[in-house]
Amino acid sequence: MKTIQFVGRLTIERELYVDAPMQVVASMFNKKVEELEAMSQMDLEELFMDNIYTIEHSALQIRTNCVDYHDDYDNEELDTLIVNDTEEVV
> Is it the case that residue 59 has pLDDT exceeding 80?
yes
Q: How many CB atoms lie within 10 A of CB 58?
A: 21
pLDDT for the residue 88? 63
Q: How many CB atoms lie within 10 A of CB 51?
A: 17
For the chain, what is the radius of gyration of the CA atoms? Answer: 21
Q: Give CA 73 to chain center in angstroms.
A: 14
Phi first, then psi: what are they for 25, rounded to 5°? -65, -45
Q: Which amino acid is at 58?
A: S
> Is it the case that residue 89 has pLDDT exceeding 70?
no
Phi first, then psi: what are they for 17, rounded to 5°? -120, 130
